[in-house]
């Protein structure tokens, strides 16, 4: 496990029912949970996970799995319809890791549109989640103002280049925790607990990723 102060997980219906009370008793500070995908899909366990994560006192964040060839407006509306955020929640996340055959220009344009719609609605800059290969092709140089959550399954932390910094790092996808049957993704936040708090939805956000 990499040495960082702040650790978290991310889950979806693939983890089935999570015992969040047991998760909260371990060294876990935050959890991202899948909310939606594409134009109309909602994760079957999102609502339960969303309320339980808050109940046990962990920082919570919700993510949308992006389909670049589908309507951006309908995808944004799908997320907004399903995710009611409150003060103290982590920013919304756009999970973009497939092009679905769309051109580079279209992927970049539609990612930009989604994050702008979501930022306007929730009044906070979304986090962009992706892997290194996808980051280098589509995100690098185009979204420097947004927090980055990067997937790289390695003991060495990712290097993004061009003086860009990552904010969250998904460093493993075969983690094991009491309270979850099977594997779960492990993540770290680059800053302190106080910086994680200030990244969250607030009337006066103070943490800057840049």
* pLDDT single digits (tens) 56-103: 999 999 999 999 999 999 999 999 999 999 999 999 999 999 999 999
Burial status of residue 11 (CB atoms within 10 A of its CB: 0-12, 13-18, 19 or more): buried
Binned at pLDDT 50, 70 and 90, residue 1 comes out as: low
203: pLDDT strictly greater than 70: no
Binned at pLDDT 50, 70 and 90, residue 128 comes out as: very high
39 is known as an active-site residue: no
- Choosing from 5, 97, 116, 195, the catalytic residue is 97
Provide the pLDDT for residue 2.
60
Q: Which domains does the chain have, with CATH numbers?
A: 6-199 (3.20.20.80)
Indicate the pairing of strand 59-65 with strand 93-95.
Answer: parallel
167 is known as an active-site residue: no
């Amino acid at each position: 496990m990499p040495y960082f102060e702040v650790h978290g997980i991310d889950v979806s219906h693939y983890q089935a029912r999570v015992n969040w009370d047991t998760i909260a008793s371990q060294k876990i500070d935050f959890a991202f949970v899948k909310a939606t995908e594409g134009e109309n899909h909602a994760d079957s366990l999102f609502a339960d996970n969303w309320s339980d994560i808050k109940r046990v006192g962990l920082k919570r964040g919700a993510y949308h799995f992006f389909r670049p060839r589908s309507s951006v407006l309908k995808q944004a509306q799908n997320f907004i319809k399903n995710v009611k955020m409150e003060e103290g929640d982590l920013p919304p996340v756009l999970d973009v890791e497939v092009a679905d055959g769309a051109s580079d220009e279209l992927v970049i344009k539609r990612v930009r549109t989604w994050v702008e719609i979501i930022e306007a609605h929730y009044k906070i800059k979304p986090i962009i989640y992706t892997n290194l290969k996808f980051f280098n092709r589509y995100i690098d140089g185009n979204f420097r103002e947004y927090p980055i959550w990067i997937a790289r399954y390695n003991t060495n932390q990712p290097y993004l280049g061009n003086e860009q910094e990552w904010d969250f790092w998904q460093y493993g996808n075969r983690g094991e925790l009491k309270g979850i049957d099977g594997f779960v993704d492990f993540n770290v936040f680059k800053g302190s607990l106080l910086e994680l708090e200030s990244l969250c939805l607030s009337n006066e956000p103070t943490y800057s990723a840049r």
